[in-house]
Structure 1
């Protein structure tokens, strides 16, 4: 994306919301901080891992280069959900991370949330999900962010349609973005973009977020694939006080 038209940047608002890597470029320009939302499952896994004291390195690709990247950083490498073994017990699955032995450093590749986080340059990046949105909202306000002069860019990662790199807007990420936007509004931020206000309104209007996400497309995909525990962890609202902030290439907990 060489240039972003002015109308797409949501300028003049203290909270901005967009989708995917292109959206991160569009609304991240001039933002005080970028918040990545990938509920199923990158940012949920980051929240679970950093709560245990693990530093998490995002990486764009799960291929041969990821192994070299992990080795250079003295970190364990997360594998695909179905590739977990005794030798490599870590994966993108938050349930697998919780069950696995503690590791101080973990490389966590994913094509969505991790790729977005790894691509942001020159702006602080925070990982948020439904497990930690209130803690993240508190931390963002402590930084003095959320004004038109120092806006917060919330990026819903979305999924990819099978066999393509086309972003599939995913309900879980829209609700994650909405939960954070609503928490910021509750704390006095009064300049949301229409997109941020719409996301917040969706989250607050729905009576049963966990139930909806269990029966959403992404929830059904994981449950039918044998990973219901991942969904259960992801929909446990405000279960963590973690604030994973990307510093020196890794997310570490900056919570209380």
Structure 2
């Protein structure tokens, strides 16, 4: 009997959130985490600057202890940034903060998915992707032989959370996932990668707004929320399609450039 929810038989697969990652990861050779606003965008900015990034699910006392254990600075909430704690989940804040070689970056969405994958008994290769580096990630995956029948890729849109902690599918993550599906499929064109219907739909969503993806992300709920809360620069940075060639890959507990 086939694993319908694992999307077996397809070279490039797509699903949502931690549960989707749990279903797709066991049969995937590579897991691509997409959390555009803002975990994976922040990872791309930090790794691009030379920082090693440790994903962590929660920003609490355990995160403090974890940061001490791995010898890293701990990112704070966007509104908690200060002279003594300048690192946060804000890509704009990370760009203006002093350089740190090691950073723990907690997030209940993308970071939690990455951290869970890292702790699996036999984890796939875990990569973070956002709009900034979608083409670079696609080229790298194809160059490493991923996206073929014997090495399928699972693309996971992290999404956000509703107040009751249920998953809120977020347009920016759907578009980021669609961008990486499009990039990888293009890089594998001669091999004719087979997309699951879920992955094909994500690609279709991205293709529909690719000419002005910034307008779609800025006008969507998450973008409007961040702008209203005073973080328009975070949205602007996240919307810069293919600005970066850096591919963050999970090496042990931390993301480093491929």
1:126 match: 127
RMSD between aligned alpha carbons? 0.9
Give the unaligned 5+ runs of structure 1. none
Contact 1:11 1:148 in 2 (8 A): no
What TM-score comes out, normalization by structure 1 length?
0.95
2:150 match: 149
Q: Distance in 2 between matches of 1:79 and 1:202?
A: 33
Q: Distance in 2 between matches of 1:235 and 1:197?
A: 22
Q: Distance in 2 between matches of 1:119 and 1:65?
A: 15
Summarize deviations over 1:83-140 as a string: whole Å, max 9, x none: 0000000000000000000000000000000000000122110000000001100110
Give the unaligned 5+ runs of structure 2. none
SS at match of 2:206: helix
Q: Which of 165, 182, 205 is residue 202 of structure 1 equivalent to? A: 205
1:247 match: 251
The structure with the greater share of residues assigned to helix is: 2
SS at match of 1:65: helix
- Counterparts of 1:166-245 in structure 2, within 5 Å, are 166-187=166-187, 188=189, 189-206=192-209, 207-245=211-249
Summarize deviations over 1:138-173 as a string: whole Å, max 9, x none: 1101110101221000000000012x2201000000
Summarize deviations over 1:5-38 as a string: whole Å, max 9, x none: 8210100000000000000011112111100000
Runs of 4 or more above 6 Å deviation? none
Aligned length: 249
1:60 match: 57
Q: Distance in 1 between matches of 2:184 and 2:214?
A: 21
Q: Distance in 2 between matches of 1:148 and 1:100?
A: 43
Whether 1:76 and 2:80 are equivalent positions in the alignment is no
Whether 1:10 and 2:1 are equivalent positions in the alignment is no
Contact 2:6 2:27 in 1 (8 A): no
Q: Distance in 2 between matches of 1:214 and 1:105?
A: 30
1:135 match: 136
Whether 1:34 and 2:9 are equivalent positions in the alignment is no
SS at match of 2:88: coil
What TM-score comes out, normalization by structure 2 length?
0.95
Contact 1:181 1:200 in 2 (8 A): yes
Alpha-carbon offset, residue 180 of structure 1: 0.5
Whether 1:93 and 2:90 are equivalent positions in the alignment is yes
